[in-house]
Amino acid sequence: MNAKTLEITPVPAFSDNYIWLLTTGGPECAVVDPGDHRPVLEALGRLGLSLQYILLTHHHADHIGGVKGLLEAYPAEVFGPVDSRINQPIRAVSEGARVELPKLGLSFNVLEVPGHTRSHIAFHGEGVLFSGDTLFSIGCGRLFEGTAEQMQQSLDKLAALPATTRIYCGHEYTVSNCAFALEVEPDNAALRVRAQQAEQARQGGECTIPSTLADELAANPFLRTRQEAVVTAARQREPGVAPGAGTMAVIRAWKDEW
């Protein structure tokens, strides 16, 4: 397929989750991280789409809880991380695997990005990244199962993707993430602009996702743990802390208690 145009539509679920719906002009579609099958089935019916593929970034219930209900309605192929806690018939994929979605003419590379959970993966390709709960717009996931060192390595891996990559994450957290990030970097002009844009978008009921990797590199403190302003802010809480993983640990803990 040459003339495909990837369209990505948010299907909101729960209070702030996004299930991403992928189409390329035909009736076939894929979804990423369906925590709930009901809004997906509603969207498929409304748009006249047939579900072919399901992509899962990690085992948390708000990302996989809808798989069972979707498979009861559609014989979709499911790709997800190697993790026995995902109690569904999936094709387990790991670092370097290529996920082919031939009915959509799409393919994605699998990146292992532990930190939020130990088996978290991301899907990169077609100019987009599905980052789950690892990289958020102006934030990163909580360290439920991993270390700050692992999160630093995972975010370094994502930071090395093309700067134009559009980032589709699992939650609408941008406004509160910006408020925290401004505590870390009050003088970051790019961050102030993002905060204003996000506030306006949410007041208008709009989704703040996707951002681009370039936007995130300019304003997301968790991608800026070697920048002087972020290291300095971390050192005000923990004197002498090192750039990189040390700074990551301090600002992640700061956000947890914020």
Residues that bind Zn ion (CB under 5 A): 60, 133
Q: Quote the least distance from Cβ 209 to Zn ion, whole Å.
A: 16
Looking at beta carbons only, is 52 or 134 nearer to Zn ion? 134
Candidate list 58, 59, 120, 124, residue with the active-site label: 58
Q: Quote the least distance from Cβ 177 to Zn ion, whole Å.
A: 15
To the query of whether residue 63 is one of the catalytic residues in this protein, the response is yes
Candidate list 116, 120, 124, 215, residue with the active-site label: 116
To the query of whether residue 120 is one of the catalytic residues in this protein, the response is no
Strands 121-125 and 77-80, bridge-based pairing: unpaired
What is the distance between the alpha carbons of residues 231 and 240, in angstroms, rounded to a whole number?
9
What is the distance between the alpha carbons of residues 219 and 201, in angstroms, rounded to a whole number?
17
Looking at beta carbons only, is 77 or 133 nearer to Zn ion? 133
How far apart, in Å, are the Cα atoms of 131 and each of 75, 103, 171, 188, 192?
Answer: 25, 23, 10, 24, 23
CA-nearest of 119, 162, 171, 161 to 141 is 171
What is the distance between the alpha carbons of residues 34 and 242, in angstroms, rounded to a whole number?
38
To the query of whether residue 133 is one of the catalytic residues in this protein, the response is yes
Q: Which residues pair with 98 in a beta bridge?
A: 109
Looking at beta carbons only, is 36 or 133 nearer to Zn ion? 133
To the query of whether residue 171 is one of the catalytic residues in this protein, the response is yes
To the query of whether residue 59 is one of the catalytic residues in this protein, the response is no
To the query of whether residue 58 is one of the catalytic residues in this protein, the response is yes
To the query of whether residue 16 is one of the catalytic residues in this protein, the response is no
Query: Would you report the helix, strand and coil content of the chain in percent, each value rounded to 5?
Result: 35, 25, 40
Looking at beta carbons only, is 111 or 191 nearer to Zn ion? 111
Q: Quote the least distance from Cβ 171 to Zn ion, whole Å.
A: 8
Residue 12: burial class (beta carbons within 10 Å; 0-12, 13-18, 19+): middle
Q: Annotated active-site positions, please?
A: 58, 60, 62-63, 116, 133, 171
